[in-house]
């Protein structure tokens, strides 16, 4: 299915660019030109990227969530240490 009719860019192509690291409409435009003419496809591209279309973004979110959890555990461990006399 075409996402950008101005440049003939399909949903599959947008997903491929996203898998390659393009996680914003601007990056998709740099990779494919999609969204750089009439602009009517930009919202559609944004929604594709927001719905699991960007594997790197999800990986980053999971990594940050894990790092945040680790930081909380580290703070709790420090708080549990006995105070030095």
Task: Please enumerate in sequence order all residues whose Cβ is within 8 A of that of 5, keeping only pairs 6 or more positions apart, or say none.
Answer: 41
With contacts defined by CB under 6 A, how many residues of the chain interact with ligand FES?
11
- Which residue stretch of 1-9, 19-27, 49-57, 72-80 sits at the interface with ligand FES (rule: CB under 6 A)? 1-9
Binding string, residues 20-49; x marks residues near ligand FES by CB under 6 A: --------------xxxxxxxx--------
Nearer to ligand FES, 26 or 60 (CB): 26
Site for ligand FES, residues 47 to 76, rule: CB under 6 A: none
Residue with tokens 């790092």: 67
Residues 2-21 that bind ligand FES (CB under 6 A): 4-6
Q: How far is the CB of 44 from ligand FES (least distance, A)?
A: 8
Q: Where in the chain does DSSP place strands (E)?
A: 2-4, 9-10
């Amino acid at each position: 299915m075409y996402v950008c009719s101005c440049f003939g860019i399909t949903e599959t192509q947008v997903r491929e660019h996203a898998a390659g690291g393009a996680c914003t409409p601007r990056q998709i435009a740099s990779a494919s030109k999609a969204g750089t003419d009439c602009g009517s496809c930009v919202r559609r591209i944004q929604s594709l990227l927001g719905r699991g279309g960007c594997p790197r973004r999800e990986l980053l979110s999971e990594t940050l969530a894990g790092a945040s959890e680790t930081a909380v555990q580290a703070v709790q461990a420090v708080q549990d240490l006995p105070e030095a006399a």
